[in-house]
Copies of this chain bind each other. A is one copy, B any other.
């Protein structure tokens, strides 16, 4: 997974909020927390998601999780029975697969094309799947947005069969150009869609905070199960994040990171145009923290990735994210976490690696 820039994090602002709550926490706040999380944080997140992503929810639908894996595990626990079929994007996020598989679900890989997950192919492979896991804003790892037509097809499938959709909106905060489609959840008013996101990428991974928005009729079942999986996360991070969101620091941080990451993506594309021409095919991406570099047909991306890592360039092979083997090889190039000179040097190293097999 792509790392944000840890040096550019507003450590002083965050530190002052941490110190404020570390010293002045009301004793009662140290007691048992509601498993769904600290209510003012649920409210702040509901407000943010409504404004920024078109998610339709009330705070009671928002569950604070210890990172998105916990939200996925919770979803599996509440919605899935052993043997239930689950559509997974292929290629897709293997962490989600692991979490849902732990509910003993049967994973059904569904191919992704230029419009996102192929709903027709999902229906052909497992018409009565219980859940479809999708990344409609910015497909992981390929990067396309799911088309409106596909979104409507997917919702139609869910309503017709009683299936659930789990929308993972893992990095759409970083949009550099164009206007986003609103969340799939908002298109449906959240009737069949669960919506999850994380602060690991917009803030930092070791914060271990995320959220899960569930349809209103499911809030009680999720509330009962949340405690069982280890929710909620600690009170301190919840208090600090509430202030960070409501005092305007979050918006400011996002704006700064958008500028920074846009420049970095541009630098990678320019360096690639000079050094990688014909060896690794890159396209600009309006969103996110990584680019996919496509290798020539037939190239073994795992072997290339290993050689790159030996030169200290960490570029994951696309194959690691495929469920069914085959398909064109590629490398995932995370650019958000590194200054431009380091990115340029990495592209040059990658070019040498590809030149000398």
Q: How many copies does the complex hold?
A: 2
Q: Contact at A230–B232, with CB atoms within 8 Å? A: no
Residues of chain B within 8 A (CB-CB) of A1 are 32
In angstroms, Cα B18 to Cα A21, docked, is 9
| Chain A window 213-250, contacts with chain B (Cβ cutoff 8 Å), 1 for yes, 0 for no | 00000000000010111101111110000000000000
Whether A27 contacts B9 by the Cβ 8 Å rule is yes
Closest beta carbon of chain B to A70's beta carbon, Å? 3
Inter-chain CA distance A335–B56, complex, in Å, is: 44
The contact of A208 among B95, B206, B232, by CB within 8 Å, is B232
The A interface is mostly helix, strand or loop, or mixed, namely helix
Q: List, in ascending order, chain B residues with CB within 8 A of A21's CB.
A: 18
> Shortest CB–CB separation between residue A200 and chain B, in angstroms?
8
Interface centre among A14, A25, A65 (most CB of B within 10 A): A25
A230 and B27 in contact (CB under 8 A), knowing A22-B14, A32-B1, A236-B236? no
- 20 sample A-B contacts, Cβ–Cβ < 8 Å, listed by A number: A3-B31, A12-B23, A15-B25, A18-B19, A18-B22, A18-B23, A32-B206, A33-B206, A33-B208, A69-B228, A69-B230, A71-B230, A73-B73, A73-B228, A95-B227, A95-B228, A206-B234, A208-B232, A233-B233, A233-B234
Q: Which residues of A contact B (CB under 8 A)?
A: 1, 3, 6-7, 9, 11-12, 14-19, 21-25, 27-33, 65-67, 69-71, 73, 77, 82, 95, 98-99, 102, 104, 204-209, 225, 227-230, 232-237
